[in-house]
Structure formats: C-alpha cells, structure tokens
C-alpha cells in the first residue's frame, strides 16, 4: 500500500496541457441573464447534480432554487446529453431578522444536497445560514375530473341538481412540477451553517456551522444531536473554526470536517456520542520555505469531498487541491496547484478580500479526474490517471456550443502567446466558486457570478 503513495505537484513551467491547446470539453449551455448588470439576488451560491444526474439544482442569494432537468428526448443521443431545461423554480428561504441580536439572517442558499430517490418524487435539502429545509419536488400530470359536487371550475353544485352519480376519473393534464417544503429544521445553529451532508443510511444527515456539527434524523425537526463542538469555554481563545463537513459515502458512522487551520479530522460516531476526539487527523506539515503572513489563511480548507469509492478524500484550500488516502494521515498522496501564480499576490488578495473566497471542488464519477474553479472565470481540471491538467474558461462568448474549448495558460512573463494571459490581467471579480460533476457522465456544471455553465466532454 505504501509503495503506491506519491506526491505529485504541478507547477506552471511543466504544464503539459492537452495537445494543441484544445481540450475535449465543449460548452453545452449557459443559463441566466448574460448582461453585465447583475442583481445581487441572482448571484448563484450553490450547484448540485442529483444522484442520477437527471436533475441539476442551483441556489442563489435571493433564496431561490432553480432545478433543471436533463432533456428527456435527447438523453440517449451522445452529443445532446448535456441539455438541461428549467424544471422547477421555487423560493426556498426568506430573509429573516433575529430580533434579539439585531442581525439579519440572509436568505442566501449555502448548500443543496439531494436525497437518493426512493419513489417518483425527488427530495433535496437546502440550507441558508440558520435553517435547513427538506423540499419535495413532485410531478403532477393527471388530475381528477368528474366530481359530483363540484363543477370543473370549482364551483359547488347544488345537491338538489344532482340526478346521477359518477366516479371521478384521472385525466391527463399539462405537466406541473410542485415543490413543497416537507420539513423545516430550525433553531439548532448559533453560527452560520456552512455544510450539510446526507448520510449513506438515508435516514440521517449532518449540518455544520463554524463551531458545531449536528446530527439530524430526516423525519424529526424538533430534535438534533450535537456530535462535534469546538467552541472553547472562553470565546477569546477561539483560533480555529469548522469550514466544511461531509459524511463518508459508504460508511454511515464516518464523517470528516475541515478547519480553518488546514487540518481535516475524521470522526467515527461509534467511538463516542460527542466526536470531539478525532479518529484521524489529516494535516500536512507546513513547508517552511513558503511561509508567509498568510500561510494560515491560505491553508484554510474551503471544501472537502470524499471520492465516490470512499477510499480517498479531496480538500481544497486557497491555492491547492489535495487528494488524501484515508489510510494515510501524514500527507496527501497528490497535490495539485490550482493557481500557484497567486502566491506572490497574497497581500493584494488579502486587501480585496479575495483570499477568503471559498472554492468548491468535485470528483468525476469514476474518480479519475477532479475539478475546481479559479478566477477570471477559469476552471481547472486535473486528470489523476494521466497526470495532466488543463485550464478552461467559462465564457459564453467563446465559441459556439459544441466547439471544443481552448486551454489557457497564465504566465508571469511579459511574452504573450496565443491563449496566454498575464497574472496582472486576471479579473478577480469573476470567479467560479461552485461546481458539480454529473455522477455518471462527463458533464460538469459550474456557476460564474450569475450564470450557470454546463460543459460536456466529447468522446474521442
């Protein structure tokens, strides 16, 4: 086992890229308004495929959820699989006001997680800073007709006008998709919720805020159990917060949580009721040669995701993506530089607050590739098997749908070749924080500020 562990680090000078600067990825669709005027409420804050990949949910800062469905007819045509159309739109969360603390509770959707499908309806969990909701999305394509006491338009008939009785029958109607809130899990978090994760037992889920992680049963909204609490007795001693958390995809007793200090703790719920003692601590010793004032900030874990196999775990910090083998805590088995050229710009990024951006990351269905977002609407793909990476841009101006994307290269020198851009020309207001990969196909969805981009990989 140990002989197969290695650390791979990509730096700019040895980027192989894909052949002639073209990738196999093509833009499939862009959703959302394409003008420059972006309303705050329209900014996308969550993107998530469901377990079959048929549905794609997005949440925005206005508390709305928009669900897209894969185009049914062309689902089986290889070149059209990545066509998604609006399926349902609903308001998930509303802004609230905490009167006791005089604080506004934002309606922004922080995370969306789908439940595995058990029947015809679809269920998802959505959360803002304080409250988690379980939504049922169901279709209605039939309605009963032929009531005895009601007219078709709903007016009641006078009983004396009845001469015969009939049995109402279901008649087809235009498809209607309804979203209804089935559970509201509230009042369990003092701090802002940053993660939710459904357990593999399909009965429980966890929700994590800055200092605590709570365990819920999906059926019960009036009780929640605390499983991790890192709040110190004296808040002045607080130096570390929880930043992300996830259940293991296969073991229902295992979960991990990442911290602002760059460590990830794996906990086993069988060990004790309160999992403050971790079972494993994944932490890479700091490289003294790269130490700076911002070392801690850039080491803060912004996302943690288990591989589909359950054997590996990926963590995203500000500059890198790390793949960890769950059996080895001392260091990651793979490290990928997402945008290492920013290392010399950290002071400026600290000034404009970009250094606090929380990027998500995701695995391909077969765990052979990983992806994460960057600035300038770039996103990075890392092929673990081939040990190759590419930088692609999410831009609706770039080529037509179906046309392969060009790969980019960020350089620090003054020479500019085609498809190269200088570090100083990057647009830090255009960032890709939220990404999701289709569970089976090579389709990725990612969000720029207010647009949803769907890309598809063309087979060779």
Partner 1 sequence: MLGKGLKRKLEQEDENDVMKMSSHQEASPTCYWLQRQTVLNLSLLKLHSRPVHSDPGLARRVLITNTLRHIQDELRGEGIPVPQSFPCGGTPLGVVDGYRERSAGCGVESHSEGSLTPVSRLEEDKHLLLCLSPSVTRQQPPSSIIKDSFTSALAEIEDLCPTVGITTLFSTETGRSLTSDPNFDESRYTDSDLSEMNSSLDSVSLVSDPAPSAFGHTPSLLADFSLDDFLFTELDSLLFDSTPCSSPLSTSSGASKVVSMVTDDFVKTLAGYGNGGTSQSTLQSNQTFKLDLNELDHIMEVLVGS
Which listed residue (20, 73, 174, 351) binds partner 1 by CB under 8 A? Answer: 351
Which distant-in-sequence residues (6+ apart) come within 8 Å of 40 by Cβ?
A: 61, 62
Considering only residues 153 through 182, tell me which ones interact with partner 1, judged by CB under 8 A: none
Q: Pull the structure tokens for residue 201.
A: 């037992």
Considering only residues 19 through 78, tell me which ones interact with partner 1, judged by CB under 8 A: 36
CB atoms within 10 A of CB 289: 5
Which listed residue (162, 175, 398, 402) binds partner 1 by CB under 8 A? Answer: 398
Using a 10 angstrom Cβ sphere, with 0-12 exposed, 13-18 middle and 19 or more buried, the burial of residue 400 is exposed
Contact 373, 446 (CB under 8 A): yes
Q: Does 425 bind partner 1 (CB under 8 A)?
A: yes
N- to C-terminal Cα separation, the chain:
33
Phi, psi of 324 (to 5 degrees): -115, 140
Which listed residue (21, 280, 421, 458) binds partner 1 by CB under 8 A? Answer: 421
- What's the CA gap between 71 and 318, in Å, rounded? 36
Which listed residue (16, 144, 232, 402) binds partner 1 by CB under 8 A? Answer: 232
| Residue the block writes with tokens 């999305």 | 137
Least separation in angstroms between CB 92 and partner 1: 18
Assign 100 to helix, strand or coil: coil
Q: Does 191 bind partner 1 (CB under 8 A)?
A: yes
Angle among Cα 254, 259, 262 to the nearest 5 degrees reads 110
Considering only residues 91 through 120, tell me which ones interact with partner 1, judged by CB under 8 A: 96-103, 105-106, 108
Assign 23 to helix, strand or coil: strand
Residue 351: enclosing H or E segment and its boundaries? helix 346-351
- What's the CA gap between 147 and 140, in Å, rounded? 18
Least separation in angstroms between CB 65 and partner 1: 19
Considering only residues 296 through 315, tell me which ones interact with partner 1, judged by CB under 8 A: 296-297, 300
Least separation in angstroms between CB 281 and partner 1: 19
Residue 336: enclosing H or E segment and its boundaries? strand 334-337
Residue 296: enclosing H or E segment and its boundaries? helix 295-299
Which distant-in-sequence residues (6+ apart) come within 8 Å of 403 by Cβ?
A: 26, 27
Stretch that binds partner 1, among 66-74, 116-124, 395-403, 436-444 (CB under 8 A): 395-403
Q: Does 245 bind partner 1 (CB under 8 A)?
A: no
Least separation in angstroms between CB 209 and partner 1: 9
Considering only residues 197 through 216, tell me which ones interact with partner 1, judged by CB under 8 A: 210-212, 214-215
Bridge partners (DSSP) listed for residue 86: 68
Least separation in angstroms between CB 145 and partner 1: 45
- Exposure string over 410-434, b if 16+ CB within 10 A, otherwise e: bbeeeeeeeeebebeebeeebbbbb
Per-residue three-class SS string for 121-161 = CEEEEEECCCCEEEEEEEEEEEEEECCCCECCCCCECCHHH
Which listed residue (41, 162, 173, 347) binds partner 1 by CB under 8 A? Answer: 347
Q: Does 277 bind partner 1 (CB under 8 A)?
A: no
Q: Does 243 bind partner 1 (CB under 8 A)?
A: yes
Smaller CB separation from partner 1, 88 or 224: 224
Stretch that binds partner 1, among 78-86, 147-155, 176-184, 344-352 (CB under 8 A): 344-352
Which listed residue (33, 41, 184, 274) binds partner 1 by CB under 8 A? Answer: 274
Q: Does 392 bind partner 1 (CB under 8 A)?
A: no
Smaller CB separation from partner 1, 147 or 191: 191
Smaller CB separation from partner 1, 228 or 370: 228
Bridge partners (DSSP) listed for residue 65: 59, 90
Which listed residue (152, 153, 287, 397) binds partner 1 by CB under 8 A? Answer: 397
Q: Pull the structure tokens for residue 325.
A: 């083998």
Q: Does 286 bind partner 1 (CB under 8 A)?
A: no
Q: Pull the structure tokens for residue 273.
A: 């009721």
- What's the CA gap between 380 and 320, in Å, rounded? 11
Considering only residues 352 through 371, tell me which ones interact with partner 1, judged by CB under 8 A: 352-353, 356
Least separation in angstroms between CB 34 and partner 1: 10
Stretch that binds partner 1, among 67-75, 112-120, 226-234, 307-315 (CB under 8 A): 226-234
Q: Does 260 bind partner 1 (CB under 8 A)?
A: yes
Which listed residue (148, 190, 309, 387) binds partner 1 by CB under 8 A? Answer: 190
Least separation in angstroms between CB 186 and partner 1: 9
Q: Does 192 bind partner 1 (CB under 8 A)?
A: yes
Smaller CB separation from partner 1, 80 or 297: 297
């Amino acid at each position: 086992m140990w002989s197969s562990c290695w650390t791979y680090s990509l730096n700019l000078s040895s980027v192989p890229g894909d052949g002639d600067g073209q990738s196999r990825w093509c833009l499939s669709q862009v959703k959302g308004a394409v003008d420059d005027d972006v309303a705050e409420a329209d900014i996308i804050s969550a993107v998530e495929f469901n377990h079959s990949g048929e549905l794609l949910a997005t949440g925005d800062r206005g508390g709305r959820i928009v669900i897209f469905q894969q185009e049914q007819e062309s689902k089986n045509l290889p070149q059209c699989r990545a066509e998604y159309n609006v399926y349902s739109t609903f308001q998930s969360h509303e802004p609230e006001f905490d009167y006791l603390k005089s604080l506004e509770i934002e309606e922004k959707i922080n995370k969306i997680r789908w439940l595995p499908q058990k029947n015809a309806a679809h269920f998802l969990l959505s959360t803002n800073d304080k409250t988690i909701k379980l939504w049922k999305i169901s279709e209605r394509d039939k309605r009963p007709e032929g009531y005895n006491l009601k007219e078709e338009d709903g007016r009641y008939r006078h009983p004396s006008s009845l001469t015969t009785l009939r049995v109402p029958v279901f008649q087809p109607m235009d498809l209607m998709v309804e979203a209804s809130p089935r559970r509201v899990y509230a009042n369990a978090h003092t701090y802002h919720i940053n993660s939710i994760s459904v357990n593999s037992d399909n009965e429980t889920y966890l929700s994590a805020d800055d200092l605590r992680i709570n365990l819920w049963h999906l059926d019960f909204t009036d009780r929640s159990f605390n499983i991790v609490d890192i709040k110190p007795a004296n808040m002045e001693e607080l130096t570390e917060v929880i930043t992300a958390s996830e259940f293991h995809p296969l073991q229902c007793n295992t979960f991990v949580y990442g911290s602002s200090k760059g460590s990830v703790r794996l906990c086993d719920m069988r060990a004790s009721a309160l999992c403050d003692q971790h079972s494993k601590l994944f932490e890479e010793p700091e490289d003294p040669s790269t130490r700076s004032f911002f070392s801690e900030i850039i080491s803060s874990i912004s996302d943690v995701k288990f591989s589909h196999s359950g054997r590996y775990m990926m963590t995203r910090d500000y500059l890198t993506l790390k793949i960890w083998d769950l059996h080895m805590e001392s260091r990651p088995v793979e490290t990928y530089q997402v945008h290492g050229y920013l290392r010399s710009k950290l002071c400026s990024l600290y000034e404009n607050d970009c250094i606090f951006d929380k990027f998500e990351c995701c695995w391909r269905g077969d765990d052979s590739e990983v992806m994460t977002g960057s600035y300038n609407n770039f996103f990075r793909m890392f092929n673990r098997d081939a040990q190759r990476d590419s930088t692609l841009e999410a831009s609706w101006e770039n080529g037509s749908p179906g046309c392969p994307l060009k790969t980019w290269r960020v350089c620090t020198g003054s020479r500019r070749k085609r498809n190269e851009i200088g570090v100083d020309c990057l647009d830090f207001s255009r960032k890709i924080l939220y990404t999701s990969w289709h569970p089976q196909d090579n389709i990725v969805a990612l969000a720029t500020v207010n647009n949803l981009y769907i890309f598809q990989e063309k087979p060779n």
